[in-house]
């Protein structure tokens, strides 16, 4: 293996680790289409951070327009309502429990997983 190919391999591995590829959560840049790479979503805020089933939750961040669903624990998927590139809304589904909330895209799951605490009603 030459020094150049070793460097390229290391760069690819580091990009994968930083984007969640090592965990099987999508590609470093998402799908490439006519408009260039689709970037994975990232979360900056979840409001509120807790509430009972039926609570409307607003998720703010970057690259959210490609989010198709939000997955609450224990693996309960619910449709995301995309309000803008930087904001989505979702209703906490029946059976949801406290834990990380994953954002699903056509390319897999976002590596950013905020925690939402489900309260008893």
Q: Which of left, alpha, beta for 5 (phi over 0: left; psi -120 to 50: alpha)? A: alpha
Chain centroid to CA 90: how far?
Answer: 13
- Give the model confidence (pLDDT) of 60-118 as tens digits: 999 999 999 999 999 999 999 999 999 999 999 999 999 999 999 998 888 778 899 99
Q: What is the pLDDT of residue 38?
A: 60
Domains recognised in the chain with CATH numbers: 3-118 (2.60.40.10)
Question: Which one is predicted more confidently, 4 or 121?
Answer: 121
E strands along the chain, which residues? 32-33, 36-37, 42-47, 50-51, 56-62, 69-73, 76-79, 81-84, 87-91, 97-105, 108-109, 115-118
Distance CA 92, CA 29 (A): 29
Spatial contact of 113 and 25, defined as CB atoms under 8 Å apart: no
Among candidate residues 84, 65, 76, 63, the one with its CA nearest the CA of residue 102: 76
Question: Which one is predicted more confidently, 119 or 31?
Answer: 119
pLDDT at 47 over 80: yes
Over its C-alpha atoms, the chain yields an Rg (Å, rounded) of 16
Q: Mean of the pLDDT values across residues 2-10?
A: 34
Residue with token string 């605490």: 117
pTM equals 0.67
């Amino acid at each position: 293996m030459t020094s150049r190919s070793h460097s390229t391999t290391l760069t690819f591995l580091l990009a994968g680790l930083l984007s969640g590829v090592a965990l099987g959560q999508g590609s470093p840049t998402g799908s490439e289409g006519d408009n260039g790479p689709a970037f994975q979503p990232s979360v900056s805020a979840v409001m509120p951070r807790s509430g009972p089933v039926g609570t409307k939750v607003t998720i703010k961040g970057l690259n959210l327009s490609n989010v198709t669903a939000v997955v609450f624990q224990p693996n309960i998927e619910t449709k995301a309502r995309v309000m803008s590139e930087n904001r989505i809304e979702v209703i906490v589904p029946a059976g949801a429990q406290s834990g990380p909330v994953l954002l699903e895209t056509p390319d897999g799951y976002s590596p950013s997983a905020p925690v939402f605490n489900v309260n008893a009603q």
